[in-house]
Structure 1
Amino acid sequence: MHNDDRAGAASDPGGPERYDFGRPAALSREHTRALAGAFDVFARQWAIQLTSKTRLRAHIAVERVTLETYDEYVATVPPTTTLVVCAAEGSDDRGIVEFPLHTALSWIVKMLGGDGSSRVDARGLTAVEQALLRSLMDETLGHLRGALGALLPHEFTVSTVQYNAAFAQVASAQDLIVVARFSMRFADRTETASVALPAMPLLERLSHTASAPDAVADPALVRRHVEDTPVELTLRLAPRGMKPSEVLTLAVGDVIPLPHGQDRPLDLAVGDQVVAAAAVGANGARLACVVTSSPLSHSLAEETK
C-alpha cells in the first residue's frame, strides 16, 4: 500500500480505511479529527504572523495529518529544504517545522525591507539570516503551542536549523511521528510545508485530553480568535445606480456624477457592513483615512462592561 493511499484514508472520515499489515499503527479517526482541528488553528495563526512580518499576503491550509515512520517522512521531504528542529529542555523528543529553503530566504529578504517577490535561489543561511529565522520561528512555535495546548511541552523551542532531513537524524528510521502537511500560498506562488512531531508522547497526551471531561468553551478565547482574523476594509463613496445601456456607452473622458456630497464622510466598510464614517487624509506619502465616527464603538463598549 502506498503512503498516499493511507494518508487519504486517514484524512477522509467518511470513507473506508485500508489496513496496512506491514505497519499496523495508524491514527484513529478521533485522533485525526482532533489533530486536524488543532493544526487548522495553527495554520490560521501562522498565516497572520507571516502576513504581518513579511508583508506578503499568506494563506495556509492543512492538507492532511498522518502517522508515519521517520524514514517515510524523510522520503517525502525535498533533499534540500529548511528544517527548523525544535526540542524541549530535559527531553530527547524533537520535532520539525519544514518549508522550502528559497521560501525562508524570501521571508528574510522581506523582513529586511527588500522586494522578495521573485524566487530566491536556495542556499545555506548566513549567521545573521539564521538569527532572523530563529526569531521568526520562536514566534511560530508559540502559535503551535497555543493551538495544540497540552499536547506539546510548554518549553518547546528552536534548537537548530538543518537542510537535510536524513542528516538531521531527529529520530530513528522506524520511530513513529505525526506529520501535518500544509499548503502555503503567497500571492500567485504556492509552496508546501510540514510539521513533524514525535508520535508516542503526542498521542499519549491526546488520549488523556480526550478522556477528560469537556471544558466549558471560553468566550474570551473565542473572541480573541475572531479579533485576530484579518479582514479587508473598504473606503467607499455613496453608490449610484446605472442602467446597462448607460454603462455600455461609457467612453474615455465621460464624467459620472456621484450622489455623495463634498461635506459628507465616506463609509468605512467590512464586506457589506458599514463599521465607521471616515474622511480622506494622509500618512506621510500615503493616502489614509481619518475615522470620524463609529456606531460599533458604543455597542462594543457596552458588551465589555
Structure 2
Amino acid sequence: MKPAEAYDFRRPSSLVREHSRVLELAFETFARQWGTQLTAKVRKLFQVSCDQVQMHTYNEYASSLPATTAMVLCSIEGEGARAVIQFPTAAALAWVGHMVGSTTSFAAPSRKFTAIEQALIRSLLDEALDDLRYSLGSLLLAPIAVDAIQYNSQFAQAAATGDLMIVASFTITVGERVVPATVALPAEVVLPQLGGAGRPIVARDARDLMRSQVVGTPVDVSVQLAPAMVLPGVILGLAVGDVLALPHPSHRPLDVVVSGLPLATAAVGSNGSRLACVVVTTEENP
C-alpha cells in the first residue's frame, strides 16, 4: 500500500486518476524493458521497478534530487523543455566498469564521466530511450534523443522552473546494491495524448472547479418546526397519546434546514397532489 500524500491546496496540480494509471502502466513496462536492456549490455542481472508517477514543477523535481548526480538531458523534437533521465554517478561508473570487464563492486567514487565513459553511457541511454518510446507508445509522439549530461541538479536547466513535469521514480537493483533513478518528461508533451480531461489543475481554475462541484452535489433539505427543549425524563416516559408542546407559533413559517443549518423559511403549500413548501425568506448563514 502506498503511503498517503499531503495535498497542497495552494498549488492544486495533479493528474486525473485514470490517466495516472495509464502512465503507471506505461512506466512499469519501461522498467521491465530497461532492466532487460541493462542486463544484456552490462552483463549483470538488473531488476528495475517503477515506484510511483507524479507531476511536479521542474523546480520541485530538481530540488528533490541529490546535489551531485548524473542528469542526462534529452531533447524532444519541437519542444523547448527537455526530458531527464537521472541516476547516481557512482552506479553509472560501476555499470561502465562491468561493461569493459571490471570485477569491482558498486562502491565507485562519484565523479564526472570521462569521454570514453560518456560514450558508453550514451549507448546505454540510446537504447533506454528506444525502450521508453516503445513503452509510452502514442503518449510520446515526438522523437527524443540524448542531448547532454549534467552533474549538478541545481544548475541543469532542462525546463523553466515553473514548467510541469511527469516524474517517474524507479528502483534499480543489482545484486545487493539498490539505487534510485528518475525519468522526467515535460507534461505538455504527454498530457495532450491523454485527452482534455488530463490537463493539470492549476490554481486559477481551482475556485471555479470547486464551485461547480459544490453546485452539482446533492444535499438533504428538510422543513422543520422550531425545536423544543425536553428533559430526558420526559422522553423516557413518552407513551402513545402524549402531547409535546412546541414553541413554534402557528403564524410563523417553517425553517428550511440543510445539514442542521437554517437557510430559509417557508410556508406550507402544495404542488399538484404533493405537499410542498413555499420559500418566503432566505438568510445568509456564515
TM-fit CA distance, 1:76: 1.1
Deviations 1:217-265 (A, max 9, x none): xxxxxxxxxxxxxxxxxxxxxxxxxxxxxxxxxxxxxxxxxxxxxxxxx
Compute the displacement of 1:9 (Å).
4.7
Residue 72 in structure 1 maps to residue 41 in structure 2: no
Deviations 1:152-176 (A, max 9, x none): 1342010001111221111111111
Task: Find the aligned partners of 1:118 and 1:9 in 2 and give their Cα distance.
Answer: 33
Using the TM superposition, give the Cα deviation of residue 103 of structure 1 relative to its aligned residue in structure 2, in angstroms.
0.7
After TM superposition, the structure 1 stretch with the greater mean CA deviation from structure 2, 163-172 or 59-68, is 163-172
**RMSD value over aligned CA atoms?**
1.9
Task: Report what 1:86 is aligned to.
Answer: 74
Distance in 2 (alpha carbons) for counterparts of 1:122 and 1:19: 35
Residue 134 (str. 1) matches residue 150 (str. 2): no
CA distance in 2, matches of 1:209, 1:105: 42
Query: Superposed, which structure 2 residues align to 1:237-248 within 5 Å?
Result: none
Provide the rounded CA distance (Å) in 1 between the counterparts of 2:78 and 2:54.
27
2:169 is matched with: 181
> Using the alignment, how far apart are the partners of 2:197 and 2:136 within structure 1?
11
Structure 1 match to 2:21: 33
Find out whether 1:52 has 2:40 as its counterpart: yes
Matched residue, 1:206: 194
Q: Is 2:105 the partner of 1:117?
A: yes
**175 and 209 in structure 1: CA distance in 2 versus 1, 3 angstrom threshold:** closer
**Cα displacement string for residues 21-46 of structure 1 (whole angstroms, at most 9, x for unaligned residues):** 11111011111100000000000000
Larger Rg belongs to: 2
Stretch deviating more after TM superposition (94-103 or 148-157): 148-157
Query: Residues 34-84 of structure 1: CA distance to partner in whole angstroms, max 9, x if unpaired?
Result: 000000000000000111111111111111110101111112101011111
Gaps of 5+ in 2: 199-286
Structure 1: unaligned runs, 5 residues or longer: 1-6, 11-17, 211-305
Residues 129-168 of structure 1, C-alpha deviations (whole Å, 9 max, x = no match): 1111111100000000000012113420100011112211
Structure 2: which amino acid aligns with 1:28?
V
Pairing 1:189-200 to 2, within 5 Å after superposition: 189-200=177-188
Could you tell me which amino acid in structure 2 is paired with residue 48 of structure 1? T
Amino acid at match of 1:84: V
CA, structure 1 residues 118+99, in 2 after alignment: closer, same or farther (shift >3 Å)?
Answer: closer
Say which SS state the counterpart of residue 185 (structure 1) adopts.
Answer: strand
TM-score by structure 1 length?
Answer: 0.61
Higher RCO (Cα < 8 Å, 6 or more apart): 2
Within the candidate set 32, 46, 49, 1:61 is matched to 49
